[in-house]
């Protein structure tokens, strides 16, 4: 798996020390981080701090004899998947906007084709200055993204906008951007990245998550079956993400076309009925149930004991009977504190159908997606979904199934925090 490489540029401001925290979180998320500092930044934080924590030379000056690479700004700029500036002064923003390359960091900006994310921090007057705002507009037009500073008490004791955004929010935006970029530039190649800031904390250690995955197969005879296109990628992505966040995970998997993850309890159940039985056996112990499987709604009423022969038969009709609805049954039997979550894969009126499923099946959360949208649906590595809870609706853009998995888990954590009693209604209310 590929490690993503961040070029972290640190410029001269009081908030420079916060770049250390940003770097640590990015490393925890699985990124490689190389640091470049401006000369003024070294007045606030010593390069040694970054060198010790990254085990890499920190570049301040291309011409420094201690620099192991004679054309560092070119090599550095080609190696990185993202150039991140924390904190960015008005000066570096101005240099980037005007194509000035008079030090290592500004030369790197010019020499790089990687996406750029800038988190400015400065005095409010400098921030609001027409020249700064003009430079920012110009950079935005060039495709540079910003994590805007927030209002608060600034280092200069004035109050206003100019404070560096919260470190976790910066990292969260970096991870979202990296995920989108990896899908675009690397054709969805899997990375070892943990894609949510809360995923960096073991925030699910108290949960036992039971997940159904894959597409069920309903036998017609010993050779043939009725099934669907489900690959199991989405359900397995949730399983991996939950395991990494400390949850105990049990997966009940029907037919899948990808390898199941390690570190989870795996139960194979091929038909809807087998899946129903396996889930009912395990669910009492689970704190969260997630129905990610594409369960057949109908199965052949009579399964032939021997292979059906075509000789002398021009047409055939199959009588189908309804399968048990696993998700509804789990919801009916739910016990205090148990969360029940479903998926709604639709082709039209996505949100409406998802809402009615949430009400009909009495769910805490529904992940709705339009399987006809490009980049969403079966057998892709990406999805475009809306997460619905009783409280809110969050429409998410194109992202990897792994990133969506972490968003779903984030929402579980939010539900637990916001109203544990409500998030885990008991009985069939």
Residues forming the active site: 156
- Applying CB under 6 A, which of residues 10, 41, 119, 326 lies at the interface with ligand CTP? 326
> Does residue 235 bind ligand CTP (CB under 6 A)?
no
The 8-class DSSP code of residue 362 comes to T
Instruction: Determine which residue in the list 94, 323, 382, 383 makes contact with ligand CTP, applying CB under 6 A.
Output: 323
Name the segment binding ligand CTP (CB under 6 A); options: 59-67, 289-297, 396-404, 413-421.
Answer: 289-297
Binding mask 357-386 for ligand CTP (x = CB under 6 A): x-----------------------------
Query: Between β-strands 288-291 and 150-153, what pairing exists: parallel, antiparallel or unpaired?
Result: unpaired
Task: Compute the distance between CA of residue 345 and CA of residue 367 in angstroms, rounded to an integer.
Answer: 8
- Within 10 Å of residue 86's Cβ, how many Cβ atoms? 29
Q: How far is the CB of 291 from ligand CTP (least distance, A)?
A: 3
Residue linked to tokens 């916060």: 18
Q: Which of helix, strand or coil describes residue 36? A: strand
Tokens of 255: 């037919």
Q: What is the C-alpha to C-alpha distance for residues 22 and 8, in angstroms, rounded to an integer? A: 9
* Contact stretch for ligand CTP (CB under 6 A) within 86-94, 159-167, 184-192, 341-349: 341-349
Q: Are strands 298-300 and 320-322 parallel, antiparallel or unpaired?
A: antiparallel
Report how far residue 193's alpha carbon sits from residue 214's, in angstroms, rounded to the nearest whole number.
Answer: 24
What's the min distance (Å) between Cβ of 56 and ligand CTP? 46
Could you tell me which stretch among 53-61, 101-109, 187-195, 293-301 binds ligand CTP (CB under 6 A)?
A: 293-301
Can residue 238 be called a binding residue for ligand CTP (CB under 6 A)? no
- Give residue for tokens 């099934």: 227
Distances (CA, A) of 29 to 131, 147, 276: 36, 19, 36
CB under 6 A: which stretch of 103-111, 144-152, 290-298, 420-428 binds ligand CTP?
Answer: 290-298
Nearest distance, CB of residue 295 and ligand CTP, angstroms: 3
Q: Which of 128, 202, 297, 352 binds ligand CTP (CB under 6 A)?
A: 297
CA dist 230 and 4 (Å) reads 29
Report the phi/psi class of residue 336: left, alpha or beta, with left for phi > 0 and alpha for psi in -120 to 50. Answer: beta
Please identify which residue in 38, 182, 212, 287 interacts with ligand CTP, judged by CB under 6 A.
Answer: 212
Please, what is the minimum distance in Å from the beta carbon of residue 132 to ligand CTP?
A: 49
Given the rule CB under 6 A, which residues bind ligand CTP? 212, 272, 291, 293, 295, 297, 323, 325-327, 342-344, 357
């Amino acid at each position: 798996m590929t490690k993503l490489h961040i070029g972290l540029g640190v410029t001269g401001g009081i908030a420079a020390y916060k770049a250390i925290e940003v770097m640590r979180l990015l490393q925890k998320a699985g990124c490689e981080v190389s640091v470049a500092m401006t000369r003024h930044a070294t007045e606030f934080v010593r390069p040694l701090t970054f060198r010790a924590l990254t085990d890499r030379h920190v570049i301040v000056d291309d011409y420094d004899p201690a620099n192991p690479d004679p054309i560092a700004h070119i090599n550095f700029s080609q190696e990185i998947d993202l150039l991140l500036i924390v904190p960015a002064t008005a000066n570096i923003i101005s240099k980037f906007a005007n194509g000035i390359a008079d030090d290592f960091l500004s030369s790197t900006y010019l020499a790089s084709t990687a996406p750029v994310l800038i988190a400015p921090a400065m005095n409010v007057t400098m921030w609001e200055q027409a020249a700064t705002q003009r430079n920012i507009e110009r950079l935005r037009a060039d495709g540079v993204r910003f994590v805007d500073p927030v209002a608060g008490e600034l280092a200069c004791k004035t109050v206003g906008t100019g404070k560096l955004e919260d470190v976790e929010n910066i990292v969260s935006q970096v991870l979202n951007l990296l995920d989108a970029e990896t899908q675009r530039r690397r054709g969805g190649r899997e990375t070892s990245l943990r894609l949510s800031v809360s995923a960096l904390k073991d925030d699910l250690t108290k949960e036992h998550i039971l997940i159904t995955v894959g597409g069920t197969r309903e036998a017609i005879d010993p050779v043939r079956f009725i099934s669907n296109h489900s690959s199991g990628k989405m359900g397995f992505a949730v399983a991996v993400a939950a395991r990494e966040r400390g949850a105990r995970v049990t997966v009940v998997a029907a037919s899948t076309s990808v390898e199941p993850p390690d570190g989870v309890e795996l139960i194979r159940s091929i038909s809807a009925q087998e899946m129903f039985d396996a889930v009912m056996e395990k669910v009492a112990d689970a704190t969260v149930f997630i129905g990610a499987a594409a369960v057949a709604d109908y199965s052949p009423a009579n399964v032939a004991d021997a292979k059906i022969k075509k000789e002398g038969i021009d047409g055939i009709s199959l009588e189908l009977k309804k399968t048990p609805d696993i998700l509804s049954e789990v919801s009916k039997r739910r016990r205090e504190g148990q969360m029940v979550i479903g998926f709604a894969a639709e082709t039209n009126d996505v949100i409406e159908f998802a809402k009615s499923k949430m009400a009909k099946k009495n769910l805490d959360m529904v992940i709705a997606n339009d399987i006809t949208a490009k980049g969403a649906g079966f057998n892709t590595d990406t999805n475009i979904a809306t997460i619905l809870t009783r409280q809110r609706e969050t429409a998410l853009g194109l992202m990897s199934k792994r990133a969506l998995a972490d968003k779903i888990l984030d929402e579980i954590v939010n539900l637990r925090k916001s109203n544990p009693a409500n998030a885990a209604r008991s009985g069939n209310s």
